[in-house]
Structure 1
Amino acid sequence: MKIFALVSLAGAALTVVNALPIVVNNRTAFVVPLTRNPHFKPDAQAQIAKLNRRYPGLNVLAASAGRIPLINVHPDLEYFGPVSVGTPAQSFKLNFDTGSADIWFPSSTCTAAACRKHTRFNAAQSSTYQKDGRQWSISYGDGSTASGFLGSDMIDVGGIQVRQTIGLATAESAQFGSSPDDGLFGLGFSTIESVKGVKTFLDNVIAADLLAQPVVSVFLPSERLFNGKGGEYLFGGIDSSKFTGSLIYVPVIRKAYWQVAIKDTLYNGQSLGQGGEGIIDTGTTLVIVDEAAAQAIHEGIDGALHDPEVGWLVPCSVRSDSANRVSFSMGGGAFHVPLADLAYQEVGSGYCYSGIQGGKYGLWILGDVFIKNNYCVFSQTTSPSIGIAPLAVN
């Protein structure tokens, strides 16, 4: 189908001139030379529409992929990228979050201090905005909250455009005031939308056949490996230059968060006998496991200790240790986090706050400390999965 479409597009740019007779095997044939039409203007969408009208069963899709470049908030605290909303476009810096499903940012009618520190959406200035009328609110695990109302407008994510229901905050808790991004872009499943019945961005673009593949690929660049630069979310595609080996697809066991079975935790390849169910969450900075797993992990790290007021600490000297590693076994593969990324932030006396913390009973959370070492492809097919492979490091 790709070859057929390309031939059709190329042919539209050419004009037939007079046929010339030639002799082939003692028989006369006619050659039709072609010259380029100087007035031709390429229009891929029109050509695809023409193909679909002519061959209704062919279903050639005008699908593509959209790249969102990311800004790394020091020290690998979070990552955000630009999203355009409305007509004419209003630009927002949004935190892409596989651990939630709502897309939201402040309304121009919000006067809270946290709202005033960020770009606010002015619905009156968008010709494509549509009122919804439903109230909206959301809360997160750190106690932060936002509330307001729903509306819908055109959203552009790396060139992928669709009409989307959005939350417009008229109130935000103080925690959001210190955040460098304007709001959140949820990439979880619609089952965890704050308002029942709202479809996610992925639901809408997949239903509209706007993506070449029903995936979002995530490359989070750490400051240690990439100076925090070059990160991206790739909607509709997979960039094989970003990882080594082959992706191993881990089945999603519950379509809410991107929830998977963690079969085991390993230290330098040796089983610690610790596993559970967890989510791979781009919106969480650290890795959070239960206390038994956290203790088993840190027992293998020389000098690690647990402070009841702070949590697990490791010597900051492990920042130079990329050989020893913690691994998580999922889907038949083992995916690694080197000790170098466990020295997350200095707390004094030569100690750093560990990138792996305990105390989470129930779902584990494999946050950015895990993802910045592994390329992750969130595949929203009828049987969703997450493809994982180690990052390619030059």
Structure 2
Amino acid sequence: MRWTVFTLICCSWTAHGLIRIPLRQMLSVRTQLRASNRLEDFMRDHQPDVFNRRYAQCYPPGIPSLRLGKSSERLYNFMDAQYYGLISLGTPKQNFTVVFDTGSSDLWVPSSYCVSEACAMHRKFKAFESSTFIHDGRMFGIHYGKGHMLGIMGREVLKIGPLTVKNQEFGESVYEPGFVFVMAKFDGVLGLGYPSLAEELGTPVFDSIMNQKSVDQPIFSFYLSKSKMPRDPEGELLLGGIDEALYSGPINWNPVTLKSYWQIKMSSIKVQGALTFCPRGCQAIIDTGTSLIIGPNRDILALQQLIGATPTSIGEYLIDCARISSLPQVTITLNGVEYVLTAESYVKRELMGDHEICFSGFQGEDLYSSTDPLWILGDVFLSDYYSIYDRGQDRVGFAKARHTRYATLEAEMDR
């Protein structure tokens, strides 16, 4: 399985307010730990309160947090983040790799004053080298299970490809606890959720882009490639519009039900058209920051049994790679449209030495929701379907991703 983990080609094309940001794939932290035979120890030391609690309230309402006026914090699931891209901050510019994350709303990168081991492994922002840096003075803190991320806030010139965002609020982390940040190949996170999701770090980046009228339309879209061809792009974030060459068929739109995450109504999930989960409807968070599909523990357990997945001692599920072609389809229904995932989509193949091991792309977690049961549709779903996020009409669109586009273009050029 081919994964490229570091260098990034800068933005390739801009026209009519469209900003293309190439995305690169990386090994998730979970995969790196698994490959080094450290996952079991890590999960034992950190369960149950570290990962996949990003969307739950980590503490009951009323418990003081690190920031005034905020009673609870969210937990970021960096263990399965897979796609990242390039930004720069400051004058002259300082480059950083970030996860473009629809499941959060803040921008942060490591500070040159950071004292954690994780910061030594990543690029650090040097405020004293930038002529455009404005010190904010406020502190921010985010709970991460076994500890807190701590940082200070500032304002700076942000560049995303050729696009310039002036006076953008962002966080400089000065303390990053935990081993996950050491293993992560990205430096920071650029959140693309709604302002209400922000941990009070100021105006989210895409809101700044809209306010400064830097794009023609208040829309951004993601293409997450499945290609194994070395010259094919691994993914793309398009700010300001949609690329019709990257999908086929109609776009099916879903209204946002809660303006924080990109949260929509999910009608049902079926396995081989038979057993139905959430028959009375659920809520689904559309999240580019995690690779998995996550649902309530009880439903996921039944689903794992239906696809023949075997549990391990650390909560992961193995699948016999030889049986993939015979496994059932999983169908997700959104706003009356069925989205079919084959086993090739929901089974994650990984090489461990000379052996191929297959893991289920589904994971159980009982996430807090005041209404319907809550699911998360991550890259297992989003790599099959081109996704469009429309802030103008508060809706999310999906269309079948066209993964043969680049191979077809190359073949035509060789004729």
Shorter-chain TM-score above 0.5: yes
CA contact (8 A) 2:385 2:398 kept: yes
> What is the rounded CA distance, in whole Å, between the counterparts of 1:168 and 1:116 in structure 2?
14
Is 2:389 the partner of 1:378? yes
Larger displacement relative to structure 2 (303-312 or 186-195):
303-312
Is 2:169 the partner of 1:171? no
CA contact (8 A) 1:247 1:387 kept: yes
Alpha-carbon distance change, 113 to 250 in structure 1, aligned in 2, over 3 angstroms: same
> Identity rate of aligned residues, in percent?
32
Larger displacement relative to structure 2 (151-160 or 329-338):
329-338
CA contact (8 A) 1:137 1:145 kept: yes
> What is the rounded CA distance, in whole Å, between the counterparts of 1:227 and 1:304 in structure 2?
34
For 1:180, the aligned partner's letter is K
Alpha-carbon distance change, 143 to 235 in structure 1, aligned in 2, over 3 angstroms: farther
SS at match of 1:121: coil
Deviation for aligned residue 1:352:
2.8
SS at match of 1:81: strand
Deviation for aligned residue 1:271:
5.6
For 2:190, the aligned partner's letter is F
The CA RMSD measured in Å over matched residues stands at 2.6
Larger displacement relative to structure 2 (187-196 or 279-288):
187-196
Deviation for aligned residue 1:370:
1.0
From 393, 401, 407, the counterpart of 1:391: 401
CA contact (8 A) 1:264 1:271 kept: no
From 181, 185, 194, the counterpart of 2:190: 185
Deviation by residue 1:65-105 (Cα, 9 ceiling, x = unmatched):
21111110137851110101111111111111111111000
Query: 2:282: which partner in 1?
Result: 276
CA contact (8 A) 2:221 2:239 kept: yes
> What is the rounded CA distance, in whole Å, between the counterparts of 1:316 and 1:252 in structure 2?
37
1:126-145 correspondence runs (5 A): 126-139=130-143, 145=148
Deviation by residue 1:181-234 (Cα, 9 ceiling, x = unmatched):
1100111111111126x1111111111211111111001113569998331100
> What is the rounded CA distance, in whole Å, between the counterparts of 2:232 and 2:188 in structure 1?
21
From 190, 200, 218, the counterpart of 1:195: 200
CA contact (8 A) 1:374 1:388 kept: yes
Query: 1:31: which partner in 2?
Result: none
CA contact (8 A) 2:194 2:259 kept: yes
For 2:306, the aligned partner's letter is G
> What is the rounded CA distance, in whole Å, between the counterparts of 1:63 and 1:130 in structure 2?
31
> What is the rounded CA distance, in whole Å, between the counterparts of 1:221 and 1:143 in structure 2?
34
TM-score by length of 1: 0.76
Alpha-carbon distance change, 385 to 368 in structure 1, aligned in 2, over 3 angstroms: same
Deviation for aligned residue 1:324:
4.5
SS at match of 2:250: coil
> What is the rounded CA distance, in whole Å, between the counterparts of 1:226 and 1:385 in structure 2?
34
- Size of the aligned set, in residue pairs, is 328
Deviation for aligned residue 1:353:
2.3
For 1:154, the aligned partner's letter is V
Query: 1:369: which partner in 2?
Result: 380
Structure whose alpha-carbon radius of gyration is higher: 1
CA contact (8 A) 1:86 1:153 kept: yes
> What is the rounded CA distance, in whole Å, between the counterparts of 1:393 and 1:221 in structure 2?
7
Is 2:308 the partner of 1:297? no
SS at match of 1:246: strand
CA contact (8 A) 1:221 1:227 kept: no
Deviation for aligned residue 1:312:
3.2
For 1:246, the aligned partner's letter is P
SS at match of 2:208: helix
From 67, 72, 76, the counterpart of 2:25: 72
Alpha-carbon distance change, 262 to 94 in structure 1, aligned in 2, over 3 angstroms: same
Is 2:211 the partner of 1:207? yes
